[in-house]
Amino acid sequence: MNSQRKPRVVVLGGGFGGLEAAFLLRMRLGDRAGITLISDQPTFLFKPNTIYVPFGLDPKSLLIDLHSATRHAGVELDVETVEGVDPRAGTVATTRRLLPYDHLVVATGAAMRPAEVPGLDEHANTIWTPQEMLRLRQSFERLLEDAWQGTLRRVLFLVPPGNRCSGPLYELVLMLDTWLRRRGAREAVDIAWTTYEGGYIQAFGPRLDRLVDGEFQRRGITGHRAEVVECVEPGRVRYTGGGTQPYDLLVSFPPYVAAMAYEGLPSDGRGFLATDLATRRVAGHRDVYAVGDAADFPVKQAFLALLQADAAAEQIAAEILGTTARAAFDPTSMCVMEQFDKATFAQVPLRLTGDTARPVEVRPDAAALYRVGSSPAWRLGKKLLGVYLPWRFGSGKPFHAGLPWRGMELGLNAMSRLMAA
């Protein structure tokens, strides 16, 4: 590295991991480094709240202008498409130029591959993009009209193998139940659920499984664990082992793959970049980091992406400043799951198992940090997070830093201790 110039940090991706890394680096480094964010979109989408779109929310309300956010942060923004990375030369190729870097953060996220399940793309309402959520809104509205007219309908929710973040689908099934009840239409709609997982939200352990099972029983939702989909046909899903489930409306969260492949960087069979767990460094490449959905941590979730981005940014900042990194990646998930009548909070310390069938588990040595609870009060927590994070990113600030986050964290911890199961 030329000591006469500022080091250059390039961040690929304008999602949770990319913005958190870029904004935290600017906070830690001040003007000691040049930071460039490359995004193929001029806006950031607050994707966790797209669950409200099928029930009437305008998805445009979930967008943040990246030009304004990066300008506040003093980060250079390039809205263009990445075509490749050359780790030997230390360059990123885009549609317009070849950009050198001293440190690179890859946060280009994941994509869905419904074609892995024959018939899923043709017959299911899938969830991932705002457009898919708008399509689901139309399906729910038709479902409601049919129910009001007395026509019985069956809705089947499906989690196939390869999905890495089933939480939003669990939110949608519980939200749909509440939504239909409030409109006097629940009795005409049969709701069923099947998942390949051995337990509901399997990655988050037995407490979530018990809680979801109780919610399904309370709401009259028929749930099936360990049902691996084989194919989807018109009006029917077939499973390995010979079982079938009928449907009038099928809602599914497809298998995940990396949104972009990087030749020259090690990855698994789905394109997720191989990393060191604590630092987020890409294996064999000291100056390249991968965070969030682009990386190989088995659970894909916004909060975990933020933690990974923090770890990578702290490593880079320490190298540039000649200090010790303040933090490493500690995979403790935190989420608030909407149900409309109440919400569920979960704080789950995780660890890797090395088992491809169940790649993560709840850390057995961290029982005091494993907290799960449901309450109408948690809906306020969900709303606060939905305001706080867009405000921070819109101001060019990282999520996990500063007095506002410390106040938010204290509040969440206090609520979780009081209302955890």
- Residues 96-111 have pLDDT tens digits of 999 999 999 999 999 9
The mean-pLDDT minimum among 32-36, 188-192, 357-361 falls in 357-361
User: What is the chain's Cα-based Rg?
Assistant: 22
Question: Average model confidence (pLDDT) for the chain?
Answer: 95
What's the pLDDT tens digit per position in 175-221? 999 999 999 999 999 999 999 999 999 999 999 999 999 999 999 99
Instruction: Over range 308-317, report the average pLDDT.
Output: 98
pTM of the model as a whole? 0.95
Residue 412 has pLDDT above 70, yes or no: no
What is the spatial distance between Cα 368 and Cα 125, in angstroms, rounded to a whole number? 39
What's the pLDDT tens digit per position in 266-289? 999 999 999 999 999 999 999 999
Q: State phi, psi for 281 to the nearest 5 degrees.
A: -70, 140
- Polymer length of the chain: 421
Instruction: Over range 158-172, report the average pLDDT.
Output: 96
Instruction: Over range 353-358, report the average pLDDT.
Output: 92
The mean-pLDDT minimum among 87-91, 167-171, 353-357 falls in 353-357
* Axis-axis angle for helices 130-148, 167-182 (nearest 10): 30
Residue 2 pLDDT grade (very low, low, confident, very high; cuts 50, 70, 90): very low
- Asked if 99 and 114 touch (Cβ cutoff 8 Å), the reply is no
Residue 1 has pLDDT above 50, yes or no: no
Of 302, 280, 327, 382, whose CA–CA distance to 24 is shortest?
327
Instruction: Over range 328-339, report the average pLDDT.
Output: 95
Number of helices and strands in the chain (H, E): 9, 24
- Asked if 92 and 85 touch (Cβ cutoff 8 Å), the reply is yes
Cα torsion 339, 193, 168, 329: sign: positive
What is the spatial distance between Cα 247 and Cα 190, in angstroms, rounded to a whole number? 9
- Domains of the chain listed by start with CATH number: 8-109+259-419 (3.50.50.100), 114-255 (3.50.50.60)
What's the pLDDT tens digit per position in 52-77? 999 999 999 999 999 999 999 999 99
H or E element: which one contains 254?
A: none
H or E element: which one contains 170?
A: helix 167-182
Per the structure block, which two tokens stand in for 168?
């939003």
Report the b/e string of 123-159 with b at 16+ CB within 10 A. bbbbbbbbebbebbbebbeebbebbeeeeebbbbbbb
The residue ranges of DSSP E strands in 249-376, in sequence order, are 249-252, 256-258, 288-290, 332-338, 343-352, 360-362, 371-375
